[in-house]
Amino acid sequence: MSDPFLSSDEYDERAHQLYNEGRYDEAVVALKEGLGIYPDALELHVGLGYARLAREEYAWSRQSFEASLKLDPDHEDALAGLGEVLLKLGARDAGLKCFDRVLELGFKEDLDIVLQMGRALFREGMLEAARRFFEVALAAHPDSAEAAACVGYAAHRLAAEGDAIRWLRQALALDPEHGEARIYLANLLYDRGEYEPALAEFERTEPDDHWDELGIWRLIELKRSIYRLPEDDPELKPWLVRLADLAGDADATDLLLAELEAAGPDGTGSRDPAQLELFGTLVTELQAMHRQPRGFEVHRITTRDGVTYVGTWEAIVAGMRDDDAAYSGRPIEEFLAGAAARATRLTGVTIPATDAESFIRGYADAGLVEIVK
């Protein structure tokens, strides 16, 4: 005897579980099967929209959300999903209109959906709008560490550094175990030159809290320079192991040797000048939060004098500029032009000064630096 059909709610529940496990293909199969039996099941259309959105099938996702809204024009999850798809497709005004409609329908106190919309705006670089939605969430839930942290992330990207620090500290006061907020705060303090406070924050994190190499390199550097730890100190081992996990093809010994080679004559590493845009990924959805966006890869170069810089191409150039007495504090464009001309006179190799990556690769071609990563 065959099993009876599942109800539409049971199909929805099964697909929801698969979605949460990251098994999007299987979720799509379950939802399409359910819709074959219950073609007017609103929640199945909505679920299919989100599963296809996760698979980056934006046209199909849009179709599913629009089918949902034909059944219920004011369905908040369908509006939020359609808004996100429209943002992905470049229809920013239309996407934001969908999000604002959700607020108009009275869902300002729904923390999850408001943060979802804010994160979608943040990912697409609509920072002012993203901060507005994060502040709506925080106003309705002043005890939410996640909402406070999101306001902090957006504030930093909007160059409101003081606000960013204040909101990140507020998030940590609400939830001391909020690893992403603590790492972000530690990196922000590091970039301000507040090294001991930065280390104090880094030390309250665990290796598995880190999904990016930069923060770990900084933590290791600070521990070795402030505490004068020897290279084989067991305190460094779990961090080196985590670096190896993130690097994939490197092992802890290789990473330690690279760090030792980068150390100056006094045994301390060079200050990492990387900027915190790298950490904008921390406010995306959980899986995307741990994925670096293209254009923010971490690189590592070493000069002929043994100085090492770690960060994005732009951050490395900023660090080189800050270490150059002739250009410290001056615009990056002036440093690029002046340093490129100086290097060309020295080596006879033409150094591009159009952008950070071309400049560094030109320096490498001229033998002035080595690109380690």
Question: Is residue 83 over pLDDT 60?
Answer: yes
What percent of the chain shows pLDDT beyond 70?
A: 85
CB atoms closer than 10 angstroms to residue 107: 20
Residue 147 shares a structural domain with residue 261? yes
| Mean per-residue pLDDT of the chain | 84
Q: What integer pLDDT is reported at residue 189 of this predicted model?
A: 94
Question: Is 346 within the bounds of a domain?
Answer: yes
Q: Is 132 inside a domain boundary? A: no
d(CA 161, CA 153): 10
Which letter does DSSP use for residue 300 in this model? Answer: E
Do 222 and 304 share a domain, yes or no?
A: no
pLDDT tens digits, 179-238: 999 999 999 999 889 999 999 999 999 999 998 888 999 999 999 999 998 878 999 999
What does the pLDDT look like over 123-169, one tens digit per residue? 999 999 999 999 999 999 999 999 999 999 999 999 999 999 999 99
Q: Which two tokens mark 300? A: 């590592």
Q: Are 247 and 275 found together in one domain?
A: yes
**pTM to 2 decimal places:** 0.69
- Asked if 83 and 20 sit in the same domain, the reply is yes
Q: What's the pLDDT tens digit per position in 296-327? A: 456 788 888 888 888 777 878 888 888 888 78
Is 129 a member of any domain?
no
- Would you state the pLDDT for residue 286? 31
Note whether 3 and 102 are same-domain residues: yes
Q: Mark whether 274 and 357 lie in a shared domain.
A: no
* 265: pLDDT strictly greater than 50: no
Neighbours of 267 (CB within 10 A): 13
**Whether the Cβ atoms of residue 243 and residue 250 lie closer than 8 Å to each other:** yes
Domain that holds residue 343: 298-373
